[in-house]
Amino acid sequence: MVKAIVGANWGDEGKGKITDMLAEESDIIVRFQGGSNAGHTIINDYGKFALHILPSGVFYNHTTSVIGNGVALNIQNLVNEIDSLVKQGVPQPKVLVSDRAQILMPYHILFDQYEEERLGGKSFGSTKSGIAPFYSDKYAKTGFQVNELFDDEAVLKEKVYRVLETKNVLVEHLYHKAPIDPEEIFRELLKYREMVRPFVCDVSVFLRDAIKAGKKILLEGQLGSLKDPDFGIYPMVTSSSTLASYGAIGAGIPGYEIKDVVTVVKAYSSAVGAGEFVSEIFGAEADELRRRGGDGGEFGATTGRPRRMGWFDAVASRYGCRMQGATEVALTVLDVLGYLDELPICIGYEIDGKVTRDFPPTPQLKKAKPVYTTLPGWKTEIRGITKYEDLPENCRNYIEFIEKELEVPITMVSNGPGRHEIIHRQSSLTK
């Protein structure tokens, strides 16, 4: 049984917690895209962690954590992250890395930094983790797969020199920086070979056998629907598909094996980085929500940047669930909203005098103004509540209004950052 866990919005929805929780009853957790450019915050019995490349189910002894072929593999970060967990008392995790995963090279990070510097005020708000240059090289067929590290060294060295011949033209003449030394890059790749050697396997075969054996597999996505390069707020998006459909490709399994898509939706909106954000709020109102939000304030797990804040956007969230193929929704950080007298919900976008409930492409999105409805708040703490019927009536009304807007069953409601601070509910939409 394969289940995907993905985000409906701009990322930051709380997918890490949901994956960590569901991993308790799973065998294998697979990261299928993205790289170290985003983080999943986990709070469990070992402490608080911000994972950047390891799957969020890495804390259990019985699970195997897999880095799929769709991931931008920063080998140094992977090893550092494993070592950091062990130093904090987490048992040595079982980790596998696809031999078809591609390696994030040191110069990818340089190119990311150089390009943001060159663009100045028109930059993309990159995390400068090398992700866009990495995926550019992957699809330009000038990247390096993990299996190439174990090929003939002369072949590997020749490719390094060939690739850097063109890279250095840009480095010297576009960015006006010192050229990259191919010998240094080659030596770094030889170090990577030894670092990654214990983890490498044919992940597609491993997962094929696991599926045949009836194992429970979670596919963990990074970011959310609105950061997808095809269906997101292009061009202010990430460089790999954030959709559950890509989970099959990024893990190396047939698409029909994904039986359930848990789409994580935040009870309010937040985003890191530039791009269109129709329900965004500002000033003291945003500061207060940011201060109270998340598990210790709304700040990026990777960058530490203050997140942009907004009210719940039903238009964007419904679209995000549709593009993910959501079969169920986990609604997160609901407990944060208990201080509010009223809860605005964006139920439509006004564009050129007309109101739409459908999420448009970026040129129209730039002109969109939010259309709000308002629900009464519940004005009380809901952490510690374990049964849905024990939630305040106005809190249940808020959940059920959102569910009606999403048109997908809300089966889980997170009312705290801890692993088991979650309420399971039976939705009237469940078939």
Which residues belong to the active site?
Answer: 12, 40
Please enumerate in sequence order all residues whose Cβ is within 8 A of that of 94, keeping only pairs 6 or more positions apart, or say none. Answer: 63, 64, 65
| DSSP 8-state class, residue 283 | H
Distance CA 63, CA 28 (A): 5
The residue written with tokens 């954030």 in the block is 242
Tokens for 303, please give them. 């960058």
Mapped onto helix, strand or coil, the DSSP state of residue 309 is strand
Amino acid type, 35? G
Could you tell me the CA-to-CA distances from 14 to 40, 119, 220, 268 in Å, in that order? 7, 31, 12, 12
Is residue 280 a contact partner of residue 296, using CB atoms and an 8 Å limit? no
Question: Strand pairing of 342-351 and 312-313?
Answer: parallel
Tokens for 23, please give them. 């991993």
Which secondary-structure segment (H or E) carries 140? none
Mapped onto helix, strand or coil, the DSSP state of residue 65 is strand
Which secondary-structure segment (H or E) carries 316? helix 314-324
Our separate counts of H helices and E strands in the chain read 12, 21
Tokens for 394, please give them. 């106005």
Could you tell me the CA-to-CA distances from 103 to 98, 166, 289 in Å, in that order? 11, 18, 38
